Chain A
Amino acid sequence: MEFKEKFIEKILLLIAFSSISILALIAFFIFGEGLPLIWKIGPKAFLFGERWVPSQGSFGILPMIVGSFWVTFGALLLGIPLGLACAIFLCEWTPPWAGMILRSAIQVLAGIPSVIYGFWGLVVLVPLVRNYLGGPGLSILSGSLILSIMILPTIISISEDSLKALPPSYKAGALALGATHWETIWRVLVPAARSGIVASIILGMGRALGETMAMIMILGNAVKMPSSFLDSARTLTTNIGIEMGYATGDHRQALFATGVILFLIIMFLNALAIVLSRRRVG
């Protein structure tokens, strides 16, 4: 009996440990494939090079880094106010039955595959942008619009959780002092929940940076430094997704190296979100 108990515990420990070693595996394999190339051409040339022409052996990913951040920035510009307003509305003004329906719908929104978002963006959004704003339509603007919808569930659910976790005395106190409902929300509740809200934004940012399929379909995938929101662009993720199918040799390693950069950015954002959501408001 004693032996069986110990045995089961050890097996479970082994499984738990192997599940987390995925992170180590990811690091091992993508760093192992990608780092040699980064050293070969130099980190500076790789990160700040503006030319990506694999056939001539020039691998500079600055256009992709800039593209990724433009698209993500655009998505946040729309997604943050929309998501925050939605979270506040759900938390403060919605009766329980409606909240249940809305929350389920948000979950559905989160579960829609990105190819479907991409398809919708391609057949609905891209022609709209092309006809009314000009340019190729396959643009950062279209990509940002789609991404802002895709990150909404992340921002809404985590912000709402952190608003809900506040002690009820905050709200009661503010109202008792004569603050209006709006003042209570904006001056007391939102600032008190800000660490969770910021964490939700950072996680949404990570989600936007990591999105691949929808961006392949909508962004146009041109490798150049974007100069306006109507330009077509390529992100770190789409660079890997488009070219990995046929890449060999240095080219393949360069794509793994692109993955290394993406991985590091995401790890940094995750760490930031963890630190922020740990911090408690006094």
Chain B
Amino acid sequence: MPTDNDKNIQEIRKKIALNKLRDHLFWIIGLLSTLIGFVLLFTLIIDLFIDGFPRLGWQFFTSYPSRFPEKAGILSAWVGTILVMIVTAATAVPLGIAAGIYLEEYGKKNWLTHLIEINMNNLAGVPSIVYGLLALGLFVYFLKFGESILTGGLTLGLLILPMVVIATRESIRAIPNSIREASYALGATKWQTIKDHVLPYSFGGILTGVIIGLSRAIGETAPIITVGALTFIAFLPSSLITSEFPFLSFKWLMDPFTVMPIQMFNWISRPQTAFHINAAAAGIVLLLMTLFMNGFAIYLRYRFRKRIKW
């Protein structure tokens, strides 16, 4: 004869078993949803490689786009991407780091810094196509830079500026105050402290942010399409180096251009499937560029984190 007590114990055991089951069930659900992202990531990459890998070759990197898919290549696209990135880095890096230093080291807590802070967060969330509209209004219509490398680079520079500022601030904030106090105690001025201590120690974090920002800029297409650079470019911008003094030319800044993602988009929009193979091949190159940059940034982050022990 089972007593009430036995029944209770049985019920409790059942409940515990149920709870354990629920714990395990959720563990499985969590694992599955985590895996979905990675499975997709891998199918995406593998699929791209299967489609495009046979197309990759010397000829693909050294040919201009063409009407014939098997003759077309990405020469003007990768050269354009590198030149645009030079302009982007030259705008976003100095401006972003300077703004970050001011906000962390000088900015007092008043309405102005508060405003700057809110705006930074807002800017990071503004869609890239809106930056394209800004660039069209400011650089193309107002400053008359045309659909040039300068316009493209400046646009992407503005786009990643908030990322650089945020990365700079975060890595400066991670430096303990004792470092600054030690420097002041030895008689250094504020700027000397920043230049000789704060900046060198936060260098790794800032570099990581800059690389991630640039890798995002490499893949951006929408703002560049908005400024009107979706054109057929079968030539290279003018050379950086000239034979006469001063041996450096900046004429390329005003040249029309195309970049990797635009070239890829161009090929995707064609109806012939042969161009889709080209698009996949261009996609592989683009993906490798961004993966390499991201991987480098991740490596840098862990390396610097490991090396510095306060």
Contacts and interface: CB of A to CB of B under 8 A. Distances in A.
B34 A113 contact: no
Nearest to A82: B33
B98 A11 contact: yes
B126 A263 contact: yes
Contact of A116 (B121, B132, B225, B286): B286
Interface stretch (B67-75, B112-120, B197-205, B248-256): B112-120
Interface string A50-85: 000000000000000000000000000000011001
Given A109-B41, A209-B127, A211-B127, A16 B99 contact: yes
Contacts of A269: 125
A115 B221 contact: yes
A204 B4 CA distance: 54
A213 B265 contact: yes
Interface string A8-22: 110111011111101
Contacts of A240: 129, 132-133, 226
Interface stretch (A23-31, A163-171, A223-231): A23-31
B178 to A, nearest CB: 22
B102 interface: yes
A111 interface: yes
B268 interface: yes
Contact of B122 (A23, A112, A149): A23
Which of B37, B190, B293 has the most C-beta atoms of chain A within 10 angstroms of its own C-beta? B37
B235 interface: no
Contacts of B99: 12, 15-16, 19-20
A82 B37 CA distance: 9
A26 B30 CA distance: 41
B191 A115 contact: no
A89 B31 contact: yes
Interface residues of B, number: 89
Contacts of A210: 125-130
A contact residues, range: 35 or more
B127 A266 contact: yes
Contact of A259 (B116, B130, B138, B220): B130
Given A89-B34, A93-B30, A106-B37, A8 B127 contact: no
A217 B225 CA distance: 14
A119 B30 CA distance: 29
B291 interface: yes
Contacts, number: 254
A256 B112 CA distance: 29
B184 interface: no
A103 to B, nearest CB: 9
A196 interface: no
B225 A241 contact: yes
Contacts of B137: 29-30, 32-33, 256
A91 B161 CA distance: 30
A262 interface: yes
A237 B142 CA distance: 23
A212 interface: yes
A152 interface: yes
Contacts of A206: 125, 127
A244 B268 contact: no
A262 B127 contact: yes
A115 B219 CA distance: 7
B90 to A, nearest CB: 14
Given A22-B158, A104-B298, A16 B102 contact: yes
A20 B116 contact: yes
A176 interface: no
A183 B102 CA distance: 46
Interface of B is mostly: helix
Interface in A227-282: 237, 240-241, 244-245, 255-256, 259, 262-263, 266-267, 269-271, 273-274
Given A104-B298, A119-B268, A180-B23, A20 B123 contact: yes
Nearest to A27: B134
Interface in A85-113: 85-86, 88-90, 92-93, 100, 102, 104-109, 111-113
A113 B26 contact: no
Nearest to B15: A180
Given A114-B221, A116-B48, A274-B118, A85 B29 contact: yes
Nearest to B190: A5
A181 B19 CA distance: 9
Nearest to A92: B30
Contacts of B56: none
Interface string B251-289: 000000000010011001000000010011001001100
Interface of B: 19-20, 22-23, 26-27, 29-31, 33-34, 36-38, 40-41, 43-44, 47-48, 51, 95-96, 98-99, 101-103, 106-107, 112, 115-116, 118-123, 125-134, 136-138, 142, 158, 161-162, 165, 189-191, 212, 215-216, 218-222, 225-226, 228, 230, 261, 264-265, 268, 276, 279-280, 283, 286-287, 290-291, 293-295, 298, 302
16 contacts: A9-B190, A12-B99, A12-B102, A15-B95, A25-B138, A26-B126, A82-B37, A102-B38, A111-B216, A113-B290, A114-B221, A116-B219, A183-B19, A212-B221, A262-B127, A263-B130
Given A82-B36, A118-B265, A209-B127, 6 more contacts: A12-B102, A20-B99, A25-B134, A100-B302, A203-B125, A237-B127
